[in-house]
Amino acid sequence: MMDNSQNIGLPKRTIEIDDSKIGRRKYNRGHKVKGQWVFHGVERESGKIFLVPVPDANADRLMTVRRDQIEPGTTVPNDCWLAYRDIKTHGFTHTKL
């Protein structure tokens, strides 16, 4: 999938983005999960996706991935986490989920 990664989105297109940690925490609820952070997005209109493994989910790293994976002018609704607070200043249209 990573070999087929491509930029997605255009003006009048919407991409939903989020970050997730893939790991295993079976019976140890509340303990830190060991695993891999992944930043991902899906374009509503076409179903195209991107998945990018990242070492952590800090705001600067996620903004870099957004700029690399999503075309400027795209509408990007998200969950209003602080890492997404400056999304408008980077050429994206922002809406709340």
The predicted-structure confidence for 35-67, as pLDDT tens digits, reads as follows: 898 988 899 898 888 888 988 878 777 778 878
What does each C-alpha distance from 21 to 34, 43, 72 come to in angstroms? 8, 21, 26
Instruction: Give the chain's domains with CATH numbers.
Output: 2-22+34-86 (3.30.420.10)
Give φ, ψ of 86 to 5 degrees: -105, 25
Of 17, 8, 11, give the one whose Cα is nearest residue 92: 11
Highest mean pLDDT among 32-36, 39-43, 77-81: 39-43
Reported pTM: 0.70
Does the structure show a pLDDT above 60 at 1?
no
Name the 3-class secondary structure at 59.
Answer: helix
Helix (H) or strand (E) holding 64: helix 59-69
